[in-house]
Amino acid sequence: MKEKGFFISFEGIDGSGKSTQIQHLAKYLETLGFDVIITREPGGSIGGEEIRNLLLQGEVDRWSAETEILLFTAARRDHLERIIAPALEDGKIVICDRFTDSTRMYQGMRGPSLRNLVELLNEKIIKWDPDLTIIIDINPETSLKRAKSRKTVEERFEDFGVELQMKMRQGFIELAKEFSNRIEVVNGQQSVDKLAHDICTLVKARLS
Q: What is the pLDDT of residues 145-168, one digit of tens each?
A: 766 565 555 455 555 567 888 889
- The residue extents of the domains of the chain are 6-207
Measured distance CA(69)–CA(19) in Å, rounded: 23
Does residue 204 have a pLDDT over 60?
A: yes
The CATH class of 6-207 is alpha beta
Measured distance CA(48)–CA(34) in Å, rounded: 26
188 vs 158, more confident: 188
For residue 149, what pLDDT is reported?
61
For residue 165, what pLDDT is reported?
85
pTM for this entry: 0.89
Radius of gyration of the chain (CA): 16
- Going by pLDDT thresholds of 50, 70 and 90, the confidence category of residue 1 is very low
pLDDT in tens, 76-133: 999 999 999 999 999 999 999 999 999 999 899 888 899 999 999 999 999 999 999 9
For residue 9, what pLDDT is reported?
98
98 to 9, 22, 32, 33, 156: CA distances (angstroms): 6, 11, 24, 24, 16
> 154 with 56: CB under 8 angstroms?
yes
For residue 150, what pLDDT is reported?
59
